[in-house]
Amino acid sequence: MNKEQGLTLIEILVALGIFVMLGSGLVVFLRDGISTWQVGESRRESIERAEAILEPLCADLRSLFSQPDPGPGGGLVEVLLLCDRDGRGRSRLRMVSVLDEEVRNPITRIAGSLTGGLADIDYNNDSMEARLGILRAPGGLCEVSYSMGPEEGSEVLWRGFKSPIGGEGTLFNDVNLAPDVDGTPRRSRPIADGVLHIEWSFWGGDRRRFVAGKVQPPLSFWDSTRGILPMDRQSGIYWDSGSRDDPFDDVFPDTVEVLLVLRPARSAALARLTADIDGSTGDILVDSTAQYPVAPDSYIRIDSEWIRVGRLTSRAFLDCERGMRGTTAVEHSRLQSVVHGSEFRKTVRIPGARDPGWQR
């Protein structure tokens, strides 16, 4: 009789065990691969968003205009670079720049074509005013501002614009950056969302970037006139209220660093507080810190408050410094989200740097 061919029960179980092991390894491999791909895509998206914000901003800085005499027969104009903080403690930047789009933008190209113009190019009904022929000639210069939205905790970056410079509508008057009746800043338009923080740092004048081969800390503010902002005695910067109206002793930086912090991708999981905290709590307990970067100098944001993290565990941020980046330490309730951002820094050399030398 012929013997029947087949597999024993033990052989089948062994084969199934091998297939299960191979399948489990494949699942782990695919899961890790997908996770790595998601991290890479999130980083790529953040880099592209950062470049889209930083490139035009840095172009405005490189176009900074610093000479009070714009040319033959042009007379004197007031040129300013002012970096201060708004009413919520957030950094904002205002400057006079060269209007390089005067012959390319159809609105600026026809501005001033008719006499008696009364309106400025300022993002406010510009197209209609151009059709009516009431826009004033831009004169080759413009005022530019960068500031966060007026509401508490805003993540919208606004760019203000006005040409010609000066006059009642100047961006250097705070009232012209205040919210309009619809709640949006006047003479401004939104250029980016998801901006957790933006800040400018300066070297130049009395604050050199390198001294004896060592990098010196920058200034977090700038007043080209040295007569508008209150004097900061700790900065070591010369200040004289009488210099406000003297255009020939103004100081403009030679180097500016921009710090941009963007909200992570929407798919990134955010930690939540597991207990209420007050304004003095240094150890912050959360449900998980798995998605948060481990770095010696990292920051988190709860509501509108920025916090520097000292150490990181699986469920806590330890040795925290509260109320950083111009914010105030306040109470936060349980289950509040803890946000971390992707930081980008870009350094810009300013062609229009001016240091006439201060006489003390």
Low-confidence ranges of the chain (pLDDT < 70): 1-7, 34-40, 74, 102-103, 114-116, 233-236, 265-268, 296, 357-360
SS3 annotation, 165-219: CCCCCCCCCHHHHCECCCCCECCEEEEECCEEEEEEEEEECCECCEECCEECCCE
Instruction: Please give the pLDDT value at position 254.
Output: 92
Beta bridge partners of 302: 305
Phi, psi of 325 (to 5 degrees): 55, 40
Per-residue pLDDT at 359: 46
Is 90 in contact with 147 (CB distance < 8 Å)? yes
Model pTM?
0.84
Q: What is the pLDDT, as a whole number, of residue 244?
A: 81
Q: Which of 230, 275, 237, 234 is nearest to 253 (CA)?
A: 237
